[in-house]
Amino acid sequence: MDDLDRLLINRLQRGLPLVRHPWEVIAQELHGTPEDLLDRVHSLLEDGVLTRFGPMFDIERLGGAFTLAALSVPEARFEPVTVQLNELPQVAHNYRREHHWNMWFVLACATADELAVTLSHIHTITGLQVLNLPKEQTYHVGLYFPV
């Protein structure tokens, strides 16, 4: 990662400009070309420096449903269960935690019914009890991690 990659990551954390050609605006700010910056984003994703680049939607306002959930996975089964969950299109994030509930993930579904079915499906395919932690209140926190 070079200085321009760092500048690009820092800039993108503030969001894309809401204009017809946002990459042209960012290219002007960073003294590059839109094509080069997009190539850099793709390279950073391929190299694993970035794990995701995309919009954040308020799924509930769009009629969908989501929840934070957790599993207590025996260490010997951790990797296979990770693969099982990551194959599900409803799993948005999946993280290891140092806790009894050692696998935490977010489920995003088109409906509340699909969410219930997906939670049940995870229990069925893993044989593990799923801890469902639905949102009770929304907080908006602006995160920024300079690199």
Predicted TM-score (pTM) above 0.85: no
CATH architecture of 65-133: 2-Layer Sandwich (3.30)
- Domain edges within the chain: 3-46, 65-133
To the query of whether residue 93 is one of the catalytic residues in this protein, the response is yes
Q: Which of 93, 121, 123, 140 is the catalytic position?
A: 93
Nearest to 93 by CA among 127, 56, 41: 56
State both tokens at 64.
């969908």
Residue 57 has pLDDT above 80, yes or no: no
Q: What is the pLDDT of residues 95-141, one digit of tens each?
A: 999 999 999 999 999 999 999 999 999 999 999 999 999 988 888 77
Distances (CA, A) of 90 to 8, 103, 141: 29, 15, 24
The confidence score (pLDDT) of residue 73 equals 98
73 or 56: which leads in pLDDT: 73
Residue 88 has pLDDT above 90, yes or no: yes
Residue 61 has pLDDT above 90, yes or no: no
Distances (CA, A) of 143 to 15, 32, 91: 11, 26, 22
Percent of the chain with pLDDT over 70: 100
Q: What is the pLDDT of residues 3-12, one digit of tens each?
A: 999 999 999 9
Q: What is the pLDDT of residues 40-49, one digit of tens each?
A: 999 999 999 9
